[in-house]
Structure 1
Amino acid sequence: MARKLQKNIIISVLVITLLLTLGYNLFFSKGKQYTNEPISKTGFLLGTIVEVKIYDQVDEAIFDKVFNILDEIENKMSVNIQTSEVSKINNNAGIKSVNVSEETFNVINKGKYYSSISNGNFDISIGPLVELWNIGSGNEQIPSSKQIQEALNNIDYRNIILDKSNYSVRLSKKGMMIDLGGIAKGYAADKIASYLKDNNINSAIINLGGNVYALGARPDKTPWKIAIQNPLETRGTYLGTVELKDKSVVSSGVYERYFVHNDKRYHHILSPFTGYPVENSLLSVTIVSDKSIDGDGLSTAVFTLGLDKGANLINSLEGIEAIFIDDKQNVYITTGLKNSFELTDNEFTLKILSSNID
């Protein structure tokens, strides 16, 4: 089943990669033609397919460092690696503090921040619930009410105790589990983007399983156009595009990972309050931000909050924009995107969100 899951992830991300490539050809080749092809490398890290495409002239050896950085992050932060720092924290839940690296500490601290400002709708201590449902593993299950309640009893980001003086992390209750799956890819994308900039690379696409960072601009210095997935269709079918430079685009939706039981779909975005997949009018949320770690944490938080509360949270934050797609085929965008988002599917209706939603 694990091989089947990996195959499905590979297919999905290759479709995303093809879409980005087609998007480049479709949207970026009008007018002046460019003969320089990007150099790229693909690998399987952080539980997904990673592809980095560079449009500047550089030595391909740069990819060795890029993928070493990703490997180091995975070995520190993956809940699926028993020797990782996060696993050591979880194994010592309710027992003792664990000293970790500065970057793992900072990612957990950022996760607590987004857990706090979303009032726990995004919660990095959701590990017991994620492990219980196991969605996306090929061994999914619908837990019993008793199992869900036991998991919920061990979820509360406020019980993650951080001590910056020695970069230690302690989970105050036995049975607690940190899961950085909702934020670590964003951190990784930011770190790769920073490394590429430090090496004078001005045009690149960093794609961590659909978590996209558009570095710089196109080779002709005009903005990238990133396609937004149609959540009602298969991967690679888009309903619009957003123009941007040096921005991250991160989406969360019901179409990403799910299983069907008795004709009911159970998706992977779990509520830390009910213990079940979130049910509201939203099908997907896309966050556009300067930092991918912000987009990663906010995409899950905002989806869980729903349209009104989610939009209010976005409007309270500086430099963050969002695209909401609901089950009535409405596409809501925040005001900062009205000149950069283009709806290309006439089955959907575009609406601009006001800066304040009651």
Structure 2
Amino acid sequence: MTNSALRPTRRNALGMIGATIVLPQIAQAATTQSIEGAAFGTTWQLVASHHDDLERLRADIDALFAIIDQQMSPWRSDSDISRFNTMGAGRHRADPEMILVTTAALDLAKASHGAFDPTVGPLVARWGFGPILGSPTADWRGLSVGSGDIGKTHDDLTLDLCGIAKGRALDLAVDLVKARGVDNFLFDVGGELKAVGQHPAGRSFQVAVQHPAAGQPAPATLKLADGMAVATSGLRTQSYELADNTYGHIIDPRTRAPAKSHLLSVTVMGRDAMIADGWATALFAAGLSSGPDLAQSKNIDAFFLTGEGAGISSVRTGAIEGALL
């Protein structure tokens, strides 16, 4: 684990943004093309060589994301997860995809010692960030997964997969694009990215970690090798200020309140976007006091940003150092 002071420069901003992604340089490059759309209350973008016919993929991508939204969106009253949340205690039949993602969420809750908790939905709503009603007491151990069902121990226990489902959507979208014969591309879903192959220029795709403060140059740039994904959690995209305090959407289950430490963002890199997504959430919730140690103990490739204004510093764990440019 390393701790390093950062001195952001405009050179660091080359590439693409990693916390709230925009793809200006690469999408406009003569050797690339892109298509984009909307899903999950955010946007998606696929960037590949100008030789590939990407438009033929749009309908399939939109259809895939529509299925995932129908399964896991808590903002839809008719979604599978919303119906589960209104059911009483007991075991309830579930789609295999819901079971897979819920299993991953519970495994992550155990591995992170509860820093990631898929039952915090009502607390997220209480702090103004979500629609889930139910027990304000987070209790991930009250959920269980069977071969064809998901169980809960009491009536008002709820399931929230928002901290991991977007990463799963990215993994599935990447698999879809690969199956359609595209070999070199970068896929972005709401600020989470996964690379396949290489940039048309013959190098790895590069992404820039966005500075937590608006208008500041990126503090770091990462190269994404073939098959690598990156996800970031932080305060910039979903937060509000009240009485000189900043409140974000990531809940610390220990305090039942928005995670509050000197952390500004956490970026996690890995081969599975779903797991990177979940660990970014877990490590931000764990905070600066225990997040880096947790990441180190689990061999997570993570990049923690901390500080104020332009004077920020970083803590790096795992193999993230080798991915920095």
Q: TM-score range by the shorter chain?
A: 0.7 to 0.9
Amino acid at match of 2:190: G
Structure 1 residue matching 2:104: 3-state secondary structure: helix
Amino acid at match of 1:127: G
Q: Is the Cα contact below 8 Å between 1:252 and 1:303 reproduced in 2?
A: yes
Q: What does residue 139 of structure 2 align with?
A: 156
For 1:286-301, what aligned pairs fall within 5 Å after superposition? Answer: 286-301=267-282
CA distance in 1, matches of 2:119, 2:141: 9
Q: What is the Cα deviation at residue 57 of structure 1? A: 1.3
Q: What is the Cα deviation at residue 316 of structure 1? A: 3.5
Q: What is the Cα deviation at residue 152 of structure 1? A: 3.7
Asked if 1:81 corresponds to 2:64, the answer is no
Q: Is the Cα contact below 8 Å between 2:32 and 2:47 reproduced in 1?
A: no
Q: What does residue 132 of structure 1 align with?
A: 126
Instruction: Provide, for residues 183-233 of structure 1, a one-character-per-residue CA deviation record: whole Å limited to 9, x for no partner.
Output: 000000000111112222122221111112222210133111100011133
CA distance in 2, matches of 1:299, 1:335: 14
Q: What is the Cα deviation at residue 54 of structure 1? A: 3.0
Instruction: Provide, for residues 144-166 of structure 1, a one-character-per-residue CA deviation record: whole Å limited to 9, x for no partner.
Output: xxx9xx9443x1111012111xx
Say which of 309, 313, 319 aligns to 1:330.
313
Structure 2 residue matching 1:135: 3-state secondary structure: coil
Asked if 1:103 corresponds to 2:97, the answer is yes
Amino acid at match of 1:97: R
Q: What is the Cα deviation at residue 24 of structure 1? A: 6.7
Q: Is the Cα contact below 8 Å between 1:247 and 1:289 reproduced in 2?
A: yes
CA distance in 1, matches of 2:116, 2:322: 30
Asked if 1:116 corresponds to 2:110, the answer is yes
Say which of 173, 176, 188 aligns to 1:195.
176
Amino acid at match of 2:118: I
Q: 1:251 and 1:16, CA in 2 relative to 1: closer, same or farther beyond 3 A?
A: closer
Say which of 21, 25, 45 aligns to 2:24.
21
Q: 1:335 and 1:163, CA in 2 relative to 1: closer, same or farther beyond 3 A?
A: closer
Q: What is the Cα deviation at residue 283 of structure 1? A: 1.0
Q: What is the Cα deviation at residue 61 of structure 1? A: 1.7
Instruction: Provide, for residues 20-44 of structure 1, a one-character-per-residue CA deviation record: whole Å limited to 9, x for no partner.
Output: 322677xxxxxxxx7433131222x
Amino acid at match of 1:239: P
Q: What does residue 6 of structure 2 align with?
A: none
Instruction: Provide, for residues 237-280 of structure 1, a one-character-per-residue CA deviation record: whole Å limited to 9, x for no partner.
Output: 41110012221110011222111222221111111121111111
Q: Which runs of 5+ in 2 are unaligned?
A: 1-16
Q: What does residue 9 of structure 2 align with?
A: none
Q: What is the Cα deviation at residue 332 of structure 1? A: 1.6
Runs ≥4 in structure 1, deviation > 6 angstroms?
none
For 1:207-222, what aligned pairs fall within 5 Å after superposition? Answer: 207-222=188-203
Q: 1:136 and 1:171, CA in 2 relative to 1: closer, same or farther beyond 3 A?
A: closer
CA distance in 2, matches of 1:335, 1:83: 41
Amino acid at match of 1:314: A
Q: 1:136 and 1:51, CA in 2 relative to 1: closer, same or farther beyond 3 A?
A: farther
Q: What is the Cα deviation at residue 294 of structure 1? A: 0.8
Q: What does residue 58 of structure 2 align with?
A: 63
Instruction: Provide, for residues 120-158 of structure 1, a one-character-per-residue CA deviation record: whole Å limited to 9, x for no partner.
Output: 111001111112222279xxxxxxxxx9xx9443x1111
Higher RCO (Cα < 8 Å, 6 or more apart) = 2
CA distance in 2, matches of 1:174, 1:237: 48
Q: Is the Cα contact below 8 Å between 2:31 and 2:201 reproduced in 1?
A: no
For 1:312-327, what aligned pairs fall within 5 Å after superposition? Answer: 312-317=293-298, 320-327=300-307
Number of paired residues?
Answer: 302
Amino acid at match of 1:163: G
Q: What does residue 244 of structure 2 align with?
A: 263
CA distance in 1, matches of 2:74, 2:96: 18
Q: What is the Cα deviation at residue 295 of structure 1? A: 0.8
Q: Is the Cα contact below 8 Å between 1:287 and 1:322 reproduced in 2?
A: yes
Q: Which runs of 5+ in 1 are unaligned?
A: 1-12, 26-33, 138-146, 343-358
CA distance in 2, matches of 1:210, 1:257: 13
Q: What does residue 324 of structure 2 align with?
A: 341
Q: Is the Cα contact below 8 Å between 1:324 and 1:332 reproduced in 2?
A: yes
Q: Is the Cα contact below 8 Å between 1:135 and 1:259 reproduced in 2?
A: no
Q: 1:269 and 1:16, CA in 2 relative to 1: closer, same or farther beyond 3 A?
A: closer
CA distance in 2, matches of 1:21, 1:106: 35
Asked if 1:52 corresponds to 2:33, the answer is no
1 or 2, which has the higher helix percentage? 1
In the superposition, the TM-score normalised over structure 2's length comes to 0.85
Q: Is the Cα contact below 8 Å between 2:116 and 2:282 reproduced in 1?
A: yes
CA distance in 1, matches of 2:166, 2:81: 15
